[in-house]
Structure 1
Amino acid sequence: MTDGNRMAVTGEASCACKIGRTAETYGIDDIDGLLRDRRAEGASLRRLETVVNEAVLRAALEETGTHVPGDVTDIYRTLTDGETSAGVRTETRAWLSRVGVDPDDLEGDFVSYQTVRTHLRECLDVDTTRESTLSVDDAVGTIEWARSRSEGIVRRTVERLDETDGFHTGTVDVTHVVRVSCGDCGASYPVERFLDRGGCDCGGADQ
């Protein structure tokens, strides 16, 4: 979605943080009320991140008059889930481009759960202390977001090289494999396994 066809909103100005600016840009009504309600229902910061970003995606598609083939949730998951194959993600981004939504601009407007926390605390005066300690779920989400972002940067860089004389490529799939190694016990795991098992055995070795 380019700057030229993003929605302008009239009425009361939003706050100046990224969520306020994004809601105003995409014409998302009462995002603050939605966040307050969902938080009061017990939604985590990670879940609220998804709520905001799905609202952004939905608004971007509605602005182009696009009929969504399925649930917006499925499209969002394809764009952000680290387990989605690079080929499927590429197809989804290409579809977004065809219907008039710039995937780079769209993903740049997605917010993180840290941004949600700041908005709740500083703009809405909502207490977020109950999630001041990072959970495994939050860690998984942050790592998957970083990996997806990294894969996207590498893919776009390689695709740009295809425009260079003497360099040619077909459809590019990029997979970023992350491993965690402990310098104390020497163990090494894929990051998913490391998180699932609760770290390495260093902590248990002294017990």
Structure 2
Amino acid sequence: MTCKVCTQIEQYGITADLEAWYDDDDDDEDLSLRDVADRLNARLLQEAYFAAGSQRPLSALEAHYEHLYGKNASDEKEKAKTSLREAGLDPKPFARDPAKRYTGEFVSYGTVRKHFNKCLGVDTSREWKSLTPAKAIQQSDDIVHRNRKILEENLVRLADDGLVRTEIERLDVEITVSCGSCHRRWSYAEFVDAGGCSQCCSEEGEEEND
């Protein structure tokens, strides 16, 4: 069975051991599947530069990939696209289309997970078992940044087409949690960091003491 990860590895001649990435790290901390996807995408970008006759160190291309796909400012993204053009590469397969994610050369977390589970037969259930509050908050921050960028890009596209006439100064995306008992609203990060609704917890503690 093959998947997009198999196809990209074969197409670009990548010999890296993804299982080793997943099970070991320089900091003695296993990489998550999302980290593996990011590192593989940086390698895909590196091999694309190599094929175009341009030598780029992987450390530089990891930041380059983040500029192309991540939550960086638009000017950084444009610099990354310009670098691709100067190397004779078409930026489109490497830059995210907010309407169609991962339709180009890069692979997603879900695709990498499928590759590990079905192609390599590797159990990735620890992704869920090892979740900590800090990781959960970091993931929520990543989701907010990623979706804010998509929404901002959509507004720019709508404005360019004359479908939105209002100038947008700032766009905010927030994840909130409502307590099912007291109905207090929390930011996701505060709720997780507090270990739940502290108002309900304090009230339960007072009742027990009475």
How does the TM-score come out when normalised to structure 1?
0.66
- What's the counterpart of residue 105 of structure 2? 109
Pairwise CA distance, 1:98: 3.5
Q: Secondary structure at the match of 2:175?
A: strand
Work out whether residues 67 and 77 of structure 2, in 8 Å CA contact, stay in contact via their aligned partners in 1.
yes
**1:35–1:204: structure 2 CA closer, same or farther, 3 Å change rule?**
same
Distance 1:43 1:147 in 2: 26
Q: Secondary structure at the match of 1:103?
A: coil
1:203 maps to 2:197:
yes
Pairwise CA distance, 1:175: 6.8
1:88 maps to 2:76:
yes
**1:99–1:23: structure 2 CA closer, same or farther, 3 Å change rule?**
same
Distance 2:150 2:9 in 1: 22
Pairwise CA distance, 1:139: 3.9
Distance 1:37 1:201 in 2: 34
Distance 2:3 2:159 in 1: 33
Structure 2, unaligned runs of 5 or more: 25-29, 96-103, 163-167, 202-210
Q: Which has the larger radius of gyration?
A: 2
**1:196–1:147: structure 2 CA closer, same or farther, 3 Å change rule?**
same
Structure 1, unaligned runs of 5 or more: 1-14, 165-172
**1:177–1:68: structure 2 CA closer, same or farther, 3 Å change rule?**
farther
Pairwise CA distance, 1:114: 2.1
- What's the counterpart of residue 23 of structure 2? 40
**1:182–1:58: structure 2 CA closer, same or farther, 3 Å change rule?**
same
**1:196–1:79: structure 2 CA closer, same or farther, 3 Å change rule?**
farther
Aligned CA RMSD, in angstroms, stands at 3.4
Pairwise CA distance, 1:78: 1.8
**1:72–1:124: structure 2 CA closer, same or farther, 3 Å change rule?**
same
Work out whether residues 23 and 29 of structure 1, in 8 Å CA contact, stay in contact via their aligned partners in 2.
yes
**1:177–1:28: structure 2 CA closer, same or farther, 3 Å change rule?**
farther
Distance 1:59 1:122 in 2: 25
1:118 maps to 2:114:
yes
Task: String of CA shifts for 1:126-155, please: whole Å, max 9, x gaps.
Answer: 111111256423444444444444444554
How does the TM-score come out when normalised to structure 2?
0.65
Distance 2:84 2:7 in 1: 22
Residue pairs, 1:43-192, within 5 angstroms: 43-68=31-56, 71-82=60-71, 84-107=72-95, 108-132=104-128, 135-136=135-136, 137-155=138-156, 161=161, 176-182=171-177, 184-187=183-186
- What's the counterpart of residue 16 of structure 1? 2
Work out whether residues 3 and 115 of structure 2, in 8 Å CA contact, stay in contact via their aligned partners in 1.
yes
The one-letter amino acid of 1:72's match is L
**1:143–1:17: structure 2 CA closer, same or farther, 3 Å change rule?**
farther
The one-letter amino acid of 1:38's match is W
- What's the counterpart of residue 28 of structure 1? 13
Distance 1:158 1:28 in 2: 42
Task: String of CA shifts for 1:27-47, please: whole Å, max 9, x gaps.
Answer: 13234xx11111221222121
Pairwise CA distance, 1:75: 0.8
Task: String of CA shifts for 1:57-104, please: whole Å, max 9, x gaps.
Answer: 11111121124487112212222332x222222222233233222222
Q: Which has the higher contact order (CA 8 A, sep 6+)?
A: 1
The one-letter amino acid of 2:174's match is R
